[in-house]
Amino acid sequence: MTRKLSGGSLVIATHNSGKLKEISALLEPYGLKCLSAGALGLPEPPETGTTFVENALIKARAAAEASQLPALADDSGLSVDALGGRPGVYTADWAQRQWFEGEPGRDWYMAMGKVEGMLQQLGSDIDRSAAFHCVLAIAWPDGEHATYEGRCPGALTWPPRGALGFGYDPVFVPSSRAGEETFAEIDPQEKHRISHRADAFAKLVADQFGA
């Protein structure tokens, strides 16, 4: 039987205020007070895993051990069938720019272009199937843990379309909207309803709170 969260405080293993706000809103109905790892001054551990599950657990375990509170972390990314599942856990790394005038950063158009260039090298009739993945991991200070995996299948398009999303959203058309809008063209509320993160959260809520 999966261990249950029983109210009280939950550390969200992120330094991103937007992600904290989003996750806090989803968990608020279940009596959990969400605190961010950033607000607690916790360091970000190196993500050395080779799977989404491994990286989510690395972050959740580090936050739980440092705070001595239950912690929730997520790891997500894009996998492209024709590229053997890449970029996978390196989804964000493919957007990493070189240091320029002392400022690191990410260029998502560059990342989308890299994926498209690799697909074009494989031929015009290549399978463009892809999926976004999300793993949510809960860890307790004593080492116990639970994971929940979400997936949103779809296909890649080119050129990028839309300005509502982020990351690879402008080139990803979810299967539920086949031939229509990319994630960057869909209303954010609709995207949240059908996304890989929504799938993972639905599984977490069902398991943890019986909803």
- CA dist., res. 100 & res. 121, Å (int): 29
Token pair for 132: 């976004």
The model's pTM is 0.87
pLDDT tens digits along 144-192 = 999 999 999 999 999 999 998 788 999 999 998 766 899 999 988 888 8
pLDDT tens digits along 63-115 = 999 999 999 999 999 999 999 999 999 998 888 876 454 455 778 899 999 99
Domains along the chain with CATH numbers: 8-209 (3.90.950.10)
In the annotation, is 81 catalytic? no
pLDDT tens digits along 107-142 = 889 999 999 999 999 998 999 999 999 999 999 999
Catalytic residue among 74, 75, 169, 199: 75
Specify the pLDDT at position 104: 58
- CA dist., res. 209 & res. 197, Å (int): 17
Specify the pLDDT at position 101: 46
Could you tell me which residues are beta bridge partners of residue 76? Answer: 134
